[in-house]
A and B are shown apart, each in its own frame.
Chain A
Amino acid sequence: MRTICLYFQIHQPFRLKRYRFFNIGNDHYYYDDYMNESIMRKVADRSYLIANKVLRQIIKEYGSQFKVAFSISGIALDQFELYAPDVLESFQKLAKTGSVEFLAETYSHSLVALKDKNEFARQVDEHRQKIKLYFDHEPTVFRNTELVYSDNIGADVADMGFSAILTEGAKHVLGWKSPNYMYCNALNPRLKVLLRNFRLSDDIAFRFSNQAWSEFPLTAEKFVTWLNRMDKKEETANIFIDYETFGEHQWLESGIFDFLKALPGAVFRNSKFTFATPGELVQQLQPISSISVPYPISWADEERDLTAWLGNDLQKDAFNRLYSLTDKVSRCADPRLRKDWKYLQSSDHLYYMSTKFFSDGEIHAYFNPYESPYDAYINFMNVLSDFTIRLNALVPETNTDQEIVNLSKVIDEKQELIRKYEVELKRLRSSKAKITSVRAVKSSAKKTDKPAGAKKNVKKTLKETKRGPVKKVTVKNVKKTTRVKKNK
């Protein structure tokens, strides 16, 4: 039995607004709401909603025969909440059909896996909770941001309890091997590795509407003949693509939705392939061998490596500066700060700084709010500077910061003391008033003269007993010091 594994990725970052250096320290809101909302609305209307409708129809027609998997980043879910609740609802409807599996990923669509294991686990956990909340689904399969994978990342993911991970069937990793089998991690064989068949995937994702392509136009029937041409022993065709392929990268007019609509029918009619989700593949298949990926790979660009995000000095500097804050952020509970921390980690911010943009522009320019990588870097670093200032205020680190915090603590304590004294002073004053009034009453009863003198006396005694002497001493000291100064 051979299977097609369809998996769609959904992510939209919170794009930053134009944040000049004058804003540092003054303005703590970093996002371009207008741009984020309009892009989200546009993609929702042109892609997500239509594609979801098509999938619902397919599931209605074929029932549990048809299977599909999604991973929706936590940030995309946040944006659905804000700008496109209808999309969220339509995914919930899909989830209820039982034909859909949701995969886990990092909440922020971040590259934290390359940097910090604890933070990585924390973000994955946060995403898991979010998926559970919206779709009542416990993800068992993991896919990392942009399918970034290495042996070490795989081992970390296995420690988090996942049964499988998705990644790119990169040529330089596979060599002569085929992506159409299930593999396992080289360090921890319990973690299964599913590899993307980039030829079949990119036929849909990139080449579908390319009229210069020799196979244009691509129909569902033609696609199935390609599936049938696969070696008989090969077990699975993993089609992993961006969900925006439908309607956004490939426009409605190109017939991409018709292709999607026709695909299951063509598969069932003309081939022996069935559909399965990654979770089901793990149950059905046996890993054929382990696969060794010592250096991280991804599904981006020709090189299938990290150079789209960490290819130049700008990106490396921004990336390292950002993650140098990890420890501090973990000691901070401020909800707004933590939210910004999540949104700033989106790999997209690094992607915009890519200088491959110069040569390999088209894909990099997609939804890119910046005119040049330098622009992107300056803007991000300005935001990060403000973020760092806020973080330092909440979690002091350097000596000066610590000193400031200590001194403000001392001031607070003194304030408290002064307040106490004031209360006491008030109390004493009122009791003094009472005493005088009582005495006045007494004296007026005994003698009618000298009421004022009596008052004065009372005042004097009160002063001496409580505050008077202390004050005198300090005044004397001050006088002494001034005299000494004069002498000098």
Chain B
Amino acid sequence: MRVLMFGWEFPPHISGGLGTACYGLTKGLHQIGGVDVLFVVPKAYGDEDQSRLSLIDAGEVTVSSRMVDYKGFFKRIHFIEVGSSIIPYTTPEEYEKMMSKDVKGNRFFVNTAFSGKLSFAGGYGPNLFQEIANYAAIASVIGVSHDFDVIHAHDWLTYPAGIAAKMVSGKPLIVHVHATDFDRSGGSVNPGVFDIEKRGMEHADRVIAVSNLTRNIIIEKYGIDPDKVVTVHNAVEPLENREMLKREKSINDKIVTFLGRVTMQKGPEYFVEAAHLVLQKMKDVRFVMAGSGDMLKHIIHRVSALRIGDRFHFTGFLKGEDVFQMYSLSDVYVMPSVSEPFGISPLEAMQSNVPVIISRQSGVSEILEHAIKVDFWDIHAMADAIYGILQYNGLSSMLRNNVKEEVDNLKWDNAALKVKEVYNSVL
């Protein structure tokens, strides 16, 4: 079976969870066997191998095709890159960095984090949609020139491409919803994006949602037939050699960590309030907020107003190894997200043997057993859970003994098997 997969990013240029998920899923599909993936991504970096081959029909747009050898794959995967002026990024910092790199021509920076709210700078709006349409045009060319059985499109930017490929080839389309604009925007949905999402889901033969939470949004807010929508939970890549990254703790205090973008969607203010409650009863504990975002100033103000600044620390944005070092220092990891389609970060914390407290309003809470689940707004429950883990050894040891095993059982192979079932159901 050959699958034409439209993605947004792929290693080495991973900027967000979407790329990680696509990578994991593709790897899983290769490992279970019987599925060949033809991966299409827009490309705008220019630092990759330049052996492009021009496509006659699409004029300026170029497409490069190459075979890439990824570690852990049994065979090379066929990889198609489409020249595009859309640049994916996940964090404000990354955006800064890329802007300063003096990118030539008309480039559009698109936030690809599951929950990055799409904001149009100046008059670029229509052009972004134009770019997405161009990408779709290329897709139709690929649809004619390649042989495949199923089309699989990840998140809204690729839906038009998926639809176009379906139109020219007549093959079934599957759209994979990693996040909807309702998650990203906190309610104030961009009508243009909503429209693309809705059209993609309507044209699709099957819709894959990353959690039941997302599935419900797809059914209720987009009016999609429930029989068409399937939940396939994400998984997580196993860690390698993370022992190397462990950092020795230099203080005796317990550390409670929030790690993620400091935006409304992630619920950082609930973490602060819970910290305040815990600090009234306990002294030898410190709270760390790792990450940055548009709410950071507000949060710092709140922390100082509560007079807990001496126990509440900000690290700024953490990347790569720093993230894992932060986990290895933590005694508790808290994810108080207001709305989280899936939420991979608690799984990463669990890989470092850290007990986690997660909000019930997250997709990941549907599959985890050895985690304490609270409603994001229930700061008393959250504070109580933090206190419980720090204070009662029975609880922390029980969690530490179980989280690693549980997270190691969440394998992409299993998710890939479910996705393969979805493929089979439309063939």
Contacts and interface: CB of A to CB of B under 8 A. Distances in A.
A380 to B, nearest CB: 10
B388 A381 contact: yes
Contacts of B383: 20-22
Most buried by A among B373, B392, B397: B392
B281 A24 contact: yes
Contact of B397 (A313, A378, A385): A313
3 nearest CB pairs, A to B: A317-B394, A378-B388, A313-B398
A377 B281 contact: no
Interface in A357-415: 358, 371-372, 374-375, 377-378, 381-382, 385
B23 interface: no
Contacts of A374: 372, 385, 388, 395, 398-399
Interface in A1-30: 20-22, 24
A321 B77 CA distance: 57
B388 A21 contact: yes
B127 interface: no
B380 interface: yes
Nearest to B381: A20
Interface residues of A, number: 22
A377 B277 contact: no
A312 B392 contact: no
Interface in B351-391: 369, 372-373, 380-381, 383-385, 387-388, 391
A385 B398 CA distance: 19
Contacts of A317: 392-395, 397-398
A40 interface: no
A21 B372 CA distance: 16
Contacts of A480: none
B405 to A, nearest CB: 12
Nearest to A19: B384
B401 interface: yes
B188 interface: no
Contact of A378 (B369, B373, B395, B401): B395
A318 interface: yes
A374 B373 CA distance: 9
Nearest to B282: A21
B254 to A, nearest CB: 14
Contacts of B391: 21, 381, 385
Interface in B90-123: none
Contacts of A314: 394-395, 398
B280 interface: yes
A350 to B, nearest CB: 12
Interface string A275-291: 00000000000000000
Interface in A299-316: 312-314, 316
Contacts of A372: 372-373
Interface size class of B (residues with CB under 8 A): 20 to 34
Given A317-B395, A378-B388, A381-B391, 13 more contacts: A20-B381, A20-B384, A21-B383, A21-B387, A21-B388, A22-B280, A313-B398, A317-B398, A355-B369, A374-B385, A374-B395, A378-B372, A378-B395
Interface string B16-56: 00000000000000000000000000000000000000000
A382 B388 contact: yes
B383 to A, nearest CB: 7
Most buried by B among A20, A22, A372, A374: A374
A79 to B, nearest CB: 27
Contacts of A355: 369
Most buried by A among B277, B381, B388, B393: B388
A377 B392 contact: yes
A377 B280 CA distance: 22
10 contacts: A312-B398, A313-B394, A313-B401, A314-B394, A355-B369, A375-B372, A377-B392, A377-B394, A378-B395, A381-B388
Given A24-B281, A371-B373, A377 B395 contact: yes
A314 to B, nearest CB: 5
A130 B138 CA distance: 85
B79 to A, nearest CB: 41
A21 B373 CA distance: 17
A365 to B, nearest CB: 14
Contacts of B397: 313, 317
A381 B394 CA distance: 10
A353 to B, nearest CB: 9
Contacts of B381: 20
A41 B354 CA distance: 43
Nearest to A371: B373
A377 B394 CA distance: 9
A448 to B, nearest CB: 73
Contacts of B392: 317, 377-378, 381
Contacts of A358: 369
Contacts of A381: 388, 391-392, 394-395
A315 to B, nearest CB: 8
Contacts of B373: 371-372
A24 B395 CA distance: 18
B302 to A, nearest CB: 20
A154 B383 CA distance: 45
A409 B280 CA distance: 31
Contacts of A312: 398
A140 B277 CA distance: 53
B287 to A, nearest CB: 16
A355 B401 CA distance: 13
B385 A378 contact: yes
Contacts of A321: 394
A193 B236 CA distance: 53
Interface string B271-287: 00000010011000000
Contacts of A316: 394
A20 B380 contact: yes
Nearest to B280: A22
A318 B394 CA distance: 8
B351 to A, nearest CB: 20
B393 A382 contact: no
Contacts of B372: 372, 374-375, 378
A22 B281 contact: yes
B373 to A, nearest CB: 7
Nearest to A381: B392
Interface string A333-359: 000000000000000000000010010
